[in-house]
A and B are shown apart, each in its own frame.
Chain A
Amino acid sequence: MKPFARLNKFLSKLPVNLVLIALILLWLVPTLGLFITSFRPREDVRTTGWWTIFREQQVVGQVEYETYCASCHGMDGAAIPQANLADPELMNAYARSNRLLVMLKQPLEDDSPHMVDPLLPENVNESLAILSPVHEYIGALSGEETKGSRLTLRNYADALVGYKGTQDYLTDCQEGVESTLVKFKCNISDLLNPEGMGSAFINTLIVAVPSTLLPIFFAAFAAYAFAWMDFKGRQWLFALLVGLQIIPLQMTLVPIARLYADLGLESTFVGIWLFHTGFGLPYAIYLMRNFLGGLPREVFESIYLDGANHWTAFWKLAIPLSMPAIASLGIFQFLWVWNDFLVAKIFLSSKPVLTVQITNLIDPRGANWHILTGAAFLSFIVPMIVFFAFQRYFVRGLLAGSVKG
Chain B
Amino acid sequence: MASVTYKKVTKKFGDFTALNELDIEIQDKEFLVLVGPSGCGKTTALRCLAGLEEVTAGEVLIGDQVVNDIAPKDRDIAMVFQSYALYPHMTVFDNMAFGLKLRRVPKDQIKTRVEEAAKTLGIEHLLKRRPRELSGGQRQRVAVGRAIVREPKVFLFDEPLSNLDAKLRVQTRAEISRLHQRLQTTFIYVTHDQTEAMTMASRIAVMNKGLLQQLDTPQKLYDEPANLFVAGFIGSPAMNFFTARIKKDGQNLFVDTDDFAVKIPDHKLKVYEPLAGKEVIFGIRPEDIHNPEFAPPGIHAAPVEAKVDVTELMGNEIFLYMISGKNNFVARVDPRTRFKIEEKRQLFFNMDNFHIFDVSADAENPPAVR
Contact A306 B81 (CB under 8 A): no
Is residue A31 within 8 Å, beta carbon to beta carbon, of the partner chain? no
- Bitwise, B64-97 to A at CB < 8 A (1) or not (0) is 0000000111010111011111111100000000
Is residue A187 within 8 Å, beta carbon to beta carbon, of the partner chain? no
Residues in A307-327 with C-beta less than 8 Å from chain B: 307-309, 312, 316-317, 320-321
Contact B52 A302 (CB under 8 A): no
Taking a contact as CB atoms closer than 8 A, the residue among A298, A306, A321 that contacts B102 in the complex is A306
User: Within 8 Å CB of A307, what residues of B?
Assistant: 73, 99, 102-103
Contact A302 B103 (CB under 8 A): no
Is residue B98 within 8 Å, beta carbon to beta carbon, of the partner chain? yes
User: Within 8 Å CB of A298, what residues of B?
Assistant: 81-85
Is residue A299 within 8 Å, beta carbon to beta carbon, of the partner chain? yes
Query: Which single residue of chain B is at the shortest CB-CB distance from A323?
Result: B89
Chain A interface residue count, CB cutoff 8 Å, equals 17
Shortest distance in angstroms between A219's beta carbon and chain B's nearest beta carbon? Answer: 20
Give the distance in Å from the alpha carbon of A305 to the alpha carbon of B103 in the complex.
Answer: 12
Contact B77 A305 (CB under 8 A): yes
Is residue A78 within 8 Å, beta carbon to beta carbon, of the partner chain? no
Shortest distance in angstroms between A114's beta carbon and chain B's nearest beta carbon? Answer: 79
User: Within 8 Å CB of A304, what residues of B?
Assistant: 51-52, 71-73
Shortest distance in angstroms between B144's beta carbon and chain A's nearest beta carbon? Answer: 13
Query: Which single residue of chain B is at the shortest CB-CB distance from A297?
Result: B85
Is residue A148 within 8 Å, beta carbon to beta carbon, of the partner chain? no
- Bitwise, A276-312 to B at CB < 8 A (1) or not (0) is 0000000000000000000010110111111111001
Query: Which single residue of chain A is at the shortest CB-CB distance from B98?
Result: A306
Taking a contact as CB atoms closer than 8 A, the residue among A296, A305, A320 that contacts B72 in the complex is A305
Query: Which single residue of chain B is at the shortest CB-CB distance from A308?
Result: B102
Give the distance in Å from the alpha carbon of A308 to the alpha carbon of B73 in the complex.
Answer: 6
Contact B79 A301 (CB under 8 A): yes
Give the secondary structure class of A's interface: helix
Is residue B50 within 8 Å, beta carbon to beta carbon, of the partner chain? yes
Query: Which single residue of chain B is at the shortest CB-CB distance from A298?
Result: B85
Given A306-B150, A307-B99, A307-B103, answer yes or no on A301-B81 (Cβ-Cβ < 8 Å).
yes
Contact A303 B87 (CB under 8 A): yes
Give the distance in Å from the alpha carbon of A309 to the alpha carbon of B102 in the complex.
Answer: 10
Residues in B96-112 with C-beta less than 8 Å from chain A: 98-99, 102-103
Given A296-B83, A321-B88, answer yes or no on A301-B52 (Cβ-Cβ < 8 Å).
yes
User: Within 8 Å CB of A312, what residues of B?
Assistant: 102
Give the distance in Å from the alpha carbon of A317 to the alpha carbon of B90 in the complex.
Answer: 10
Contact B99 A306 (CB under 8 A): yes
Query: Which single residue of chain A is at the shortest CB-CB distance from B81?
Result: A298
User: Within 8 Å CB of A303, what residues of B?
Assistant: 87, 98
Contact B87 A317 (CB under 8 A): yes
User: Within 8 Å CB of A308, what residues of B?
Assistant: 73, 102
Contact B87 A302 (CB under 8 A): yes
Shortest distance in angstroms between A303's beta carbon and chain B's nearest beta carbon? Answer: 7
Shortest distance in angstroms between A300's beta carbon and chain B's nearest beta carbon? Answer: 8
Query: Which single residue of chain A is at the shortest CB-CB distance from B50?
Result: A305
Give the distance in Å from the alpha carbon of A304 to the alpha carbon of B76 in the complex.
Answer: 11
Query: Which single residue of chain B is at the shortest CB-CB distance from A299?
Result: B85
Query: Which single residue of chain A is at the shortest CB-CB distance from B74?
Result: A307
- Bitwise, B149-162 to A at CB < 8 A (1) or not (0) is 01000000000000
Contact B81 A302 (CB under 8 A): yes
Give the distance in Å from the alpha carbon of A308 to the alpha carbon of B71 in the complex.
Answer: 10
User: Within 8 Å CB of B79, what residues of A?
Assistant: 301-302, 305
23 pairs, CB–CB < 8 Å, chain A vs chain B: A296-B85, A298-B82, A298-B85, A299-B86, A299-B87, A301-B72, A301-B79, A302-B81, A302-B85, A303-B87, A304-B51, A304-B71, A304-B72, A304-B73, A305-B52, A305-B73, A305-B75, A305-B78, A306-B98, A306-B150, A307-B102, A308-B102, A309-B73
Additional 9 contacts, C-beta under 8 A, given A298-B85, A299-B87, A304-B71: A302-B146, A304-B52, A305-B51, A305-B79, A306-B73, A306-B99, A307-B73, A316-B98, A317-B87
List the 10 closest A-B pairs by CB distance, nearest first. Answer: A298-B85, A306-B99, A307-B102, A302-B85, A298-B81, A307-B73, A320-B89, A304-B72, A299-B85, A298-B83
Residues of A within 8 A of B (CB): 296, 298-299, 301-309, 312, 316-317, 320-321
